[in-house]
A and B are shown apart, each in its own frame.
Chain A
Amino acid sequence: MSVKVILPTALARHTDGQKSFDSQAGDLPGLLAEFDVKFPALAKNVKDENGKLRRFVNVYVNDEDIRFLGGDAHQFEDGDEIMLIPSIAGGSCADSA
């Protein structure tokens, strides 16, 4: 089983610019654990000090907010697209002013 993980530019700076990659994770906790190994900088960015997903990050499974699907307990299915987006996203980190 494999799902496709999609990241916005704001988070892709922690994955060497990679905006999508495949994952074998079966659920959200599994995906976050995978970040620890594959992309530690991303894990640090999206998880709080208790290892939980920060409340400012929204997760969508095939365009549906994962909170409507059962959150952590929701089981991914083969071919799912998992998108992580900061809830108040947008903007460049470079100085423009």
Chain B
Amino acid sequence: MASSCTKYELCCNECGKSYGNRPLSACPDCLAPLEVQYDLESVRGRFTRESVTAGPASIWRYKELLPIPEGFQPDLPVGFTPLVRAKNLGKRIGADNLYVKNDAVCFPTLSFKDRVVSVALANAQAFGFTTVGCSSTGNLANSTAAQAARLGLKACILVPADLEAAKVLNTQVYGARLVRIDGNYDHVNRLCTLIADEYNWGFVNVNLRPYYAEGSKTVGYEIAEQLGWRLPDNIVCPMAGGSLIRKIRKAFKDLIALGLVEPKEVRFFGAQATGCSPIAHAVKNGLDYIEPQRPNTIARSLAIGNPADGPAAAKMIQETGGWAEDVSDVELVSGIQELAEDEGIFTETAGGVTTAVTARLYSQGRIGRDDLTVVCITGNGLKTTDALEGCFAAERAVKPKLTAFDEYIRVVDGQLIGADADLTLAGGAR
């Protein structure tokens, strides 16, 4: 597949200066975040519904709108995850037109971070880095480790020391150097900014951050395409660093600008855990800055107390007429179970947060019953099974005899067998 030839470069969101393409995350002049900007005109007519549909079933079908270096050959079929109608969950929470974007099954490491890492590493290779790394709450660590292994890059990954065991194992198995830091994510991230200054490493979410963040746009492109090239009324999205929610909006704007969808003012709703809710706090109080928090929640993948893109996310949510909510750890565990029981989707703690926040937004009337709403589920429950510890009783073992089974099932869940079960078993079995 040919590489993108769309023109793009790094630009400062605040002062507007541009910096070409290099591993750089903040404007040297005003220290604001840099963002990739495209010459959309250069892709007009080439990026169409037809050209996208003819592309591979992965994020690379949108390669013209990704910052992919000249000559890059996409390797892994990342993304293009299911968008499913959520009728059962909708019935539970009073939503008649609800969809789930299911990145719990994103390839290759079961979270939306696969999207951002694949774009970041394409650039890491082009910039000549042979060692890559990240600061991570887990999912990013998994994805960076896996994709670096595939590309033959060395990886050094820094995580908070209290990370879930599954996320640690899911990083180490790929042969990455995992360093546990005695602190929370904000400590880890700060250390990584210093390391990136000293070592010639490509940190996907530090010096490669502007490129990395662009990968998130593919969630938005996919939602629009999977809805039949139209935009939803609302997006509900989990927030950690605050990047994903903004990039989904950027994706929608791209599609409107290029004429692939009808213009629409989509409202954006952010979801956080109460134990780490600096962006929700800013939205609820109408702030354009972030008051940092010390995270205290089991939703560790959202536990960023000083989110880099927090101020911009808070501002954007308010601009779109959206809102942000936060839920307790107890509520998020219920959210995990409800999404699993209703839709057969097992999400991690962050997805429990998003599900529970969605329910609350409907009950508050902030989202209308008939609205077309897409809930972004970004990670897989197999990585955070400890959150459900104690939710299910350990069942005793039953003897492999029909009578023993029948006796047992009548005690624990008689409703499972209908009224005629007695007749079936009444004869020879007893």
Give the B-binding residues of A (Cβ under 8 A): 8-10, 45-46, 48, 54-58, 60, 63, 65, 67-68, 85-97
Are A90 and B22 touching (Cβ within 8 A)? Answer: no
Contacts A55-B311, A96-B127; A88 near B190 (Cβ below 8 A)? no
A9–B311 Cα gap in the complex (Å)? Answer: 25
- The verdict on B18 contacting chain A, using a C-beta distance below 8 Å, is no
Interface centre among A45, A58, A67, A86 (most CB of B within 10 A): A86
Q: Which 7 A-B pairs have the closest CB atoms?
A: A90-B206, A91-B24, A91-B207, A89-B193, A90-B196, A9-B197, A56-B31
The complex places the Cα of A46 from the Cα of B30 at a distance, in Å, of 7
Check if B194 is an interface residue, CB within 8 A of chain A. yes
Distance of A43 from chain B, by nearest CB (Å): 13
Query: Chain B residues near A92 (CB, 8 Å)?
Result: 22-24, 207
Contacts of A95 in B (CB 8 A): 20, 22
Q: In the complex the two chains form, what is the Cα distance from A63 to B22 in whole Å?
A: 30
Contact status A55-B289, CB under 8 Å: yes
- B23 contacts A88, C-beta separation under 8 Å: no
- Chain B, residues 2-32, CB within 8 Å of chain A (1/0): the string is 0000000000000000001111111011111
A85 touches B193 (CB 8 A): yes
How many A-B residue pairs have C-beta atoms within 8 angstroms? Tell me. 97
Q: A9-B198, A95-B20, A97-B22 are in contact. Are A90 and B29 (CB under 8 A)?
A: no
CB neighbours (8 Å) of A97 from chain B are 20-22, 69, 126-127
Interchain CA distance A56-B25 in the complex, whole Å: 12
Nearest Cβ distance between residue B304 and chain A, in whole angstroms?
12
User: Nearest residue in B to A83 (C-beta to C-beta)?
Assistant: B190
How far apart are the CA atoms of A93 and B23 in the complex, in Å?
Answer: 8
Interface residues of B (CB under 8 A from A): 20-26, 28-34, 69, 126-128, 186-187, 190, 192-194, 196-198, 203, 206-207, 209, 289, 291-292, 294, 306, 308, 311
Residue of B nearest to A66 (CB): B292
Q: How far is the CB of B115 from chain A (nearest CB, A)?
A: 20
Contact B308 A87 (CB under 8 A): yes
Report B-chain residues with C-beta under 8 Å of the C-beta of A56: 26, 30-33
In this complex, what residue of A is CB-closest to B127? A96
Q: Are A91 and B23 in contact (CB under 8 A)?
A: yes
Contacts of A85 in B (CB 8 A): 190, 193-194
A96–B128 touching, CB < 8 Å? yes
Asked if B197 and A90 sit within 8 Å, CB to CB, the answer is yes
**A96-B197 in contact given A54-B30, A87-B308 (Cβ < 8 Å):** no
Within 8 Å CB of A10, what residues of B? 26, 28, 197
Could you list 16 examples of A-B contacts with CB < 8 Å?
A9-B197, A10-B28, A46-B31, A54-B31, A63-B187, A68-B294, A86-B31, A86-B193, A87-B31, A87-B306, A88-B209, A89-B25, A89-B206, A90-B24, A92-B24, A93-B28
Asked whether, in the complex, the Cβ of A88 is within 8 Å of the Cβ of B311, the reply is no
Are A89 and B26 within 8 A (Cβ)?
yes
Bound form: Cα–Cα A48–B31 in Å: 10
For A48, what are the chain B residues with a Cβ–Cβ distance below 8 Å? 30
Chain A residue contacts of B194, Cβ below 8 A: 8, 85, 89
Shortest Cβ distance from B27 into A: residue: A56
How far apart are the CA atoms of A96 and B24 in the complex, in Å? 10
